[in-house]
Amino acid sequence: MIFYELYLRSFYDSNDDGLGDFLGLKNKLDYLCNLGIDYVWLLPIMKSPAFHGYTVSDFYEVNPVYGTLEHLKNTLKEGHEKGLKFVLDLPINHVAVSSEWFQKALKGEEPYKNWFIWANEKADLDEIRHWDDSKIWQKIGDKYFYGIFGPASPDLNFENPELWNEIKKIFKFWLETGFDGFRLDAAKHIFDFDIEEMHFKYQHEKNVEFWKEMTKYIKSIKEDAIVISEVWDAPEIVRKYEGIFDIGFNFPIAEDLKMTLKKESPSEFNKTLIKCIPEYLPDGKVLSKSGNFLTNHDMTRILSDLKDEEKVKLGFSILYTLPGVPFIYYGEETGMKGIPKDVNFTEDSQEPFHWYENGFGPGQTEWKGYKFNPPYSGESVEEQKKDKNSILNTVKSLISFRKNNLWLENAKVEILNFDENVVELRGYDQLHEIIAYYNLKSSISSFFLQNGQELLSIGNNYIENNVISLAPFGVHIIKKK
């Protein structure tokens, strides 16, 4: 499985209003198919006052800037006919202030007033969340509501069973609309507040029970629906949720792999595998597949982070040769740049996708100015297609390699060797075996190759008499004979 995270507003515009939309996606399904994508993960497309869509005002309506529900259904239907599947990003732990649910709750209407958490005499109105100095209590009129993600996002109170039933209706609605699964935003935040003591507290056991019931329900509606969780935390926390979801995002490997590339350190690479994907090491056991990625919509784009196209290619090469499920964020395949201010201000990592080198043309979205990706910056599809060594063509080659070796998704891995320059990685199952060589340094490394058939070579690598000169940040993969 190859996943593509897509921000619709920035992708392709079908009606010349400067905003990407459902029919624009329909017009560009072939681009995704030619890239080799299997699943399109759509960031929230429900009705929302926010550009990013993560504060939902109506879970049963599409955002009108993207078109109509019929436009969406037609797009999903045509995508299915082309072999694509679609995953919907559903942020259910909070709503928008403009949500009918919250507006009725403010008026004291049943059952909505009990669907939110309101401050009482026990509440410390100055309590801040643990990752920054933002307050968790938000004032509106003469009331204070709990909003861990800020004043635009009233948190829902899942202590109420009727709310669980409402969430099930939402899942059912979107599955019947044509989606093939869900990406579950902020999965550890369903129960993150102690209602008795009135303070912030992760309650992972309650979260686990909630998601067990929801995933069981989702699969009762659509047996092959795929469910992906976002638990952004340390490995020991992430593992509390293993086995509930089909795929769990592996934030630790994303962060550690990028740091390894920055340090150009084979020893750090070895530590990263042991720490972040132990379930794929020889004695490990996979409960939920590892969702492997380099960046997403909340993070600095990979080229802005690594500042070196060859390192970016190496990062993708590692991603597509490791077990688990690879994800790519739209525009990373063409080398888009972007540095969000923080997780509350992510516009700068969600700039318009460039189809044309001059930045303008039919279907080009223009909802935001080009702060990080100006015209003639070389990261358009038009320009990248011309260069066989471009990031785009490298990613296409890697996806093609991956799809020719589908067994890698469930493979075991082990580090055979590493020195100050090169990592030698073995991937295998009962029927297959490959050896991957990664040069983590900015200088050429020469060594004897094991006997085998060449499957993939990234970089200006040179082989003579079974000795390879591996290019700086180059990759060479062989199939063992």
Q: Is there a contact between 366 and 358 (Cβ–Cβ < 8 Å)?
A: no
Q: State how far the Cα of 143 lies from the Cα of 113, in Å rounded to an integer.
A: 12
Nearest to 255 by CA among 285, 296, 204, 227: 296
**Amino acid making up residue 332:** E
- Cα–Cα distance measured from residue 414 to residue 281, given in angstroms and rounded to the nearest whole number: 6
Measured CA to CA, the distance from residue 53 to residue 186 in angstroms comes to 14
Residue 97 to residue 152: CA distance in whole angstroms: 6
Of 179, 174, 185, which Cα lies nearest the Cα of 229?
185
Phi-psi domain of 337 (left: phi exceeds 0; alpha: psi -120 through 50; beta: other): beta
Which residue in 282, 367, 294, 276 sits closest to 336, CA to CA?
294
SS3 for 253? helix
- Helix, strand, coil % in the chain, rounded to nearest 5: 35, 20, 45
Give the type of residue at 325: V
Query: How many whole angstroms separate alpha carbon 63 and alpha carbon 47?
Result: 4
Concerning whether 133 is annotated as a catalytic residue, the answer is no
Marked catalytic residue, from 5, 21, 155, 230: 230
Q: Which of 423, 468, 470 is nearest to 449 (CA)?
A: 468
**Taking the CA atoms of the chain, what radius of gyration do you get in angstroms?**
23
Asked if residue 453 lies in contact with residue 478, where contact means CB atoms within 8 angstroms, the answer is yes
The answer to whether the bond into 111 is cis (omega within 30° of 0) is yes
Give how far Cα 49 sits from Cα of 17, 91, 99, 345, 394, Å. 18, 14, 9, 15, 38
> Could you give the C-alpha distances from 441 to 56, 164, 321, 435, 475, in angstroms and in order?
45, 51, 19, 19, 11
16 labelled catalytic: no
- Of residues 185, 209, 233, 309, which has the active-site annotation? 185
Active-site residue numbers?
Answer: 185, 230
